[in-house]
Chain A
Amino acid sequence: MTMQLVHPPDSAEVRHAIAVTNVTKHYRARPWSKPTPALRGVNFTVNPGEIFGLLGPNGAGKSTLVKILMTVIRPSRCEGTLLGRPVGHKGTLRRVGYLPEHHRFPEYLTARQALDYFATLSGVDRPTRRKRSAELLDQLGLAKWADRRIGQFSKGMRQRLGIAQSLINDPQLVLLDEPTDGVDPVGRRDIRAILVQERAKGRTIFLNSHLLSELEMVCDRVAIMVQGRVSEQGTIPELTAYGQRYEIAATAAGGESLDWHAVLAPLTAPPPPAAAAGTLALRDGTMLETDRGLLRVRSMDPATIQPIIDAVRASRGVIKSVVSVRPSLEDLFMRAVTAADGSTLPPGAAEDSGSKGASA
């Protein structure tokens, strides 16, 4: 299977595949009613050639944001570019592929006809359309169903066809809104593989999904949207750095709990007056937390834990496990959608007061 990008990304020309600031959208139920905010100044960038994941709870404004980029929804305010052209520029959409959430293809069309139709709307010439339709139907496992009406397709097959449709115009940028919705685990794995393949070809992929584990597996960078704002964005290691640590489980020689304060006394500095109970600090400033037989070391540097292990051994303690812990995307997500008082933030774009979301 060989496919070449018709529009190879030009990094000199296009610094960001997407770069938007202050994307705002207000809805009014009635012309005279008070506007309800859906997006409250969204800022983010997507680099060329990466898979970028957008996650957030229901009602956070993810689909609204994608629809604004695709000119389906008119923003109240939007500054920024899509493939180097202002957002809303129709001509740019020739180089963009899009799979809407809950998409509905005309059921009277066959898979091949649907691809041909949407490719034509994107301005693809006939020979290219035919070639790419055949390639994509094969790639998405729909070759045998190419000439069947979409009305006969299962949800998963429709989803595969949707992805084929988003790639039919050989786009530089592909925006996929819940691409694995309704797809079985095997299908999801196939779709992930396709996304990785497409990234390897130089395409930029913008992924909007609820399935955090999937995003974690394929995304180079992610942004978390909460209540109409991007609360965090970056690479997954960057975003999860806050919770990266080593956890050392150990007991005293007789099996009783280890006195971490005594064992680590030679390595630690005097605790600051405001330090919580069970909190220690190494002389280099690395924070330690003790929890009965467990010691949490707030560092991912292996060199940091070597003297600690030595100290435990020296005190005749028994090391049961040393584990490198990194928060999952789910942890990150939960942290983003949890208010200071521990409650989960409600869906929708809430007013400023009391909202955790902060402009990135």
Chain B
Amino acid sequence: MISPHRSHPLWFAFLLHRVSGLALALFLPLHFYVLAMALTSPEALDGFLSWTDMTIVKLAEYGLVFLLAAHFFGGLRLLALEFLPWSPRQKTLAAGAVALAFFVSTTFFLSAV
């Protein structure tokens, strides 16, 4: 349950940025571990990569790419907010970051299936 003082677009933008950041921080060690298998045990890597043909894994990748793109574009908004002259259109910019994240991740998903 979101507290009433938090129910506005820029707080949700903050939440998305924080959740996507945490999820990517948890994902990256796993990602590097799997990549390292290319050197340590290529057979195990091939076995693991065969999972990526499963629909559920493709959906998970869709979510992952969305989080990555949302964190990337949301992060650009925050950098602009902190280093460029103030723009009053922060809600529009946050919505634009989410829209771009959807565009990028859906494009990725459509070319993956």
* Chain A complexes with chain B: no
Give chain A's interface residues, CB within 8 Å of chain B.
none
Chain B residues proximal to chain A, CB less than 8 Å = none
